[in-house]
């Protein structure tokens, strides 16, 4: 799965879960990803975990 597919999977998940906030950090957030980069996110769920 490439990064764009992962991003779409994340978007799909957030469309069905009650999420208050999502924080993107790491190389994707600052615009310096490379072919070895992952996607770093933190999620605040509206109803807790």
> Does the pTM exceed 0.85?
no
Select from 26, 21, 47 the least CA-distant residue to 36: 26
- C-alpha span between 37 and 45 (Å, rounded): 25
* Bridge partners, residue 46, by sequence: none
Q: Which of 11-15, 30-34, 37-41 has the highest mean pLDDT?
A: 30-34
Phi first, then psi: what are they for 11, rounded to 5°?
-60, -45
- C-alpha span between 38 and 29 (Å, rounded): 11
Q: What is the mean pLDDT of the chain?
A: 88
**27 or 38: whose pLDDT is higher?**
27
- How many structural domains compose the chain? 1
Structural domain for 17, as ranges: 3-45
Tell me the average pLDDT across 10-14. Answer: 86
Phi first, then psi: what are they for 5, rounded to 5°?
-70, -40
CB atoms under 10 Å from CB of 5, counted, come to 9
């Amino acid at each position: 799965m490439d990064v764009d597919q992962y991003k779409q999977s994340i978007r799909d998940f957030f469309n069905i879960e009650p999420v208050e906030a999502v924080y993107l950090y790491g190389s994707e957030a600052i615009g310096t990803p490379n072919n070895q980069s992952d996607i770093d996110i933190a999620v605040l769920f509206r109803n807790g975990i």
